[in-house]
Structure 1
Amino acid sequence: MALKKTSAKSGGQKQRSLWAEVWRRLKKNKLALVGLGFLSILVVIAVGTIVIDFVTSQSVYNNYVIKQNLRMRLQGPSWQYPFGLDEFGRNILLRMLWGVRYSLFMGTFAIVISTLIGGVLGALAGYYGKFADNAIMRFMDILLAIPSMLLATAIVAALGTSLTNVLIAIAISYIPTFARTVRASVLTVKDQEYIEAARALGAGDSRIIFKYIIPNSMAPLIVQATLGVAGAILSIAGLSFLGLGIQPPTPEWGSMLSGARSYIRDGWHITVIPGLGIMLTILALNVVGDGLRDALDPRLKT
């Protein structure tokens, strides 16, 4: 029993030291830390707005975020309204803050779904090979032949414009990317000696896939997921801009851009500020993804 406890303890320490080493190398990338800090602020803002809506029964949302004041429409930035007012006299700062949850959380949730489904399909294709590999990957090739934005647009147009349908459309469009990423990692991992040892000890295929192969294929999957969130946010904003995503008066950044495009000559701020929000969020996710890629690359270990 003592030997078993020691082994479990040493295994836990090894896992902690692995991620501690990743964090140590990630900290050397100052740009990635800035992006991580910016994303942390966005998460705090998103959670804060959800808590405010819950505590106030959405009275703040109804009375300040979506309330219109046509007499003050298109007012520029000022001390009272730092981001100005939009084409309906609504506070752009509050709408930007309340819009964080839709862009960030929806993009993250869609990529989580894509990662789970694509990861399992890629693992099955890479592990079993032959017929399973051909069947799964040829279907992925068909999906990859269609541009992700066009595929998402077609799905939303067929299912209808709603929050759930947007998530489904974005998730489906990114499944092939994660399936291919995991399949490539599985093809490298499945012939390792510890996999052969687990198979010799009588471990079943499902145990080998979910306990040994997928955990050891997580590094490229984490990096791809981080970069995928950036693409998903851009896709959500694009669908909303086209009128197929989140509908007004919900303060989603792409929807804000779509409504403001007709007034760009009357008020520069109503398009520039939502555009900057989208750009900075995607930039932060990209630099964090690049930092994670370098930190998780085993060839950089010393």
Structure 2
Amino acid sequence: MTTEPAAQDVVRQTVPRGPRTPREPDDAGASLWRVAARRLRRNPGAIVGAVIVLLFVLVALLAPVLAPYGAGALPGRAEIRPTVIPGPSDAFPLGLDRYGADLLSQLIWGARASLLIGILSTVLGLLGGALLGLLAGAFGGWVDTVTMRLVDLMLSVPSLLLAVSVAAVIGQTPSAIIIAIGVVQVPIFARLLRGSMLAQRDQDYVLAASSLGLGRRTVVMSHILPNSLSPVIVQATLMLATAVIEAAALSFLGLGGGSPTSAEWGRMLTAAQNELEVAPRLAMWPGVCIAVTALGFTLFGEALREALDPKTRKR
């Protein structure tokens, strides 16, 4: 007596199996930043952004080595004529500007100025915003209400207008630009950290820590705050791109002080306004540097945000 195979065995024998897809690395047990680094390596946008940012930082740090001439030097001053601005040559690869400075050297030294302003202003905004966000998220109640109303008041003013107002009050110096951009970034970081802390405050591990008898200060500083910093760090990366653009805008408006020959991308755009018909390259090259640098920080920041967000993970 013979028995027929079960229906599922027949299906298993007749239905061909498709090719197996490679499995993603197992993220179980891995730290958040290790998983994020693994995802960043698989993101083309993150790689492009990281390369641009790395090149920008290297050019800024190695400006004394890479720049053919010093900052503010006028090696071609004798070649400038009222109606003639010499173009690219062997001695000056990108040509000269109206004052006789080497354009390539000015761009390289301008990268150092932009990096310094961007980092210092972002750190200033991050510290101020973190302080306000920490107060609002940790205490709540009337402290939260007063802090957030102050933040809402700052956000009600357009960022560029607020930066111009602060820089005009402080004075026309490079430090004024750093402070002005930092003040603009304070409310953004404050709201972000406060929201992140409020989301973490209701998690089970916070309840468990409180049940063990830990004080509010210990719970906030040792548990809630460290787990709330990831979105703030991502936002700081994105704000670096904004800081570079706003620094160029304030220098373009003449609020950064310094002489017209100072190496700063925004000031170079200001000096090139009257030379657009004669030498449009004087405005083109600083504009390209600003756009590419901001693009690099934006690409890397957006990729970092996706890598740290569990909702966007692709399995």
Q: TM-score, normalised by structure 2?
A: 0.83
Which consecutive aligned stretches of 4+ in structure 1 deviate over 6 angstroms post-superposition? none
Q: Which residue in 2 is equivalent to 1:61? A: 70
**Pair 1:39-2:50 in alignment:** no
**Pair 1:18-2:39 in alignment:** no
CA contact (8 A) 2:74 2:100 kept: no
**Pair 1:262-2:274 in alignment:** yes
Q: Which residue in 1 is equivalent to 2:302? A: 290
**Percent identity over paired residues:** 37
Q: 1:125-173: CA deviations, max 9, x gaps?
A: 1232210111000000110011111111111111101122211111111
| Structure of larger gyration radius | 2
**Pair 1:174-2:199 in alignment:** no
User: Aligned residue pairs: how many?
Assistant: 283
Give the distance between the partners of 2:305 and 2:286, measured in 1 at CA: 29
Calculate the aligned-residue CA RMSD, in Å: 2.2
**Pair 1:139-2:150 in alignment:** yes
Q: Among 126, 134, 140, which residue is 1:123 paired with? A: 134
Q: Tell me whether 156-165 or 204-213 shows the greater mean CA deviation.
A: 204-213
CA contact (8 A) 1:124 1:132 kept: yes
**Pair 1:281-2:293 in alignment:** yes
Give the distance between the partners of 1:153 and 1:129, measured in 2 at CA: 32
Q: TM-score, normalised by structure 1?
A: 0.87
User: Cα 1:300–1:288, aligned 2, differ >3 Å: closer, same or farther?
Assistant: same
User: Cα 1:185–1:271, aligned 2, differ >3 Å: closer, same or farther?
Assistant: same
- Structural mapping, 1:71-82, within 5 Å: 71-72=79-80, 74-82=85-93
Give the distance between the partners of 1:107 and 1:220, measured in 2 at CA: 19
User: Cα 1:297–1:260, aligned 2, differ >3 Å: closer, same or farther?
Assistant: same
Q: Which has the higher helix share?
A: 1
Give the distance between the partners of 1:267 and 1:106, measured in 2 at CA: 28
SS state of the match for residue 229, structure 2?
helix
Q: 1:211-235: CA deviations, max 9, x gaps?
A: 2222211221122111111111111
SS state of the match for residue 76, structure 1?
coil
Q: Which residue in 2 is equivalent to 1:9? A: none
- Structural mapping, 1:144-155, within 5 Å: 144-155=155-166
Q: Structure 2, unaligned stretches of length 5 or more?
A: 1-27
CA contact (8 A) 1:240 1:247 kept: no
Q: 1:231-277: CA deviations, max 9, x gaps?
A: 11111101100000142332000000001111111001100000000
SS state of the match for residue 85, structure 1?
coil
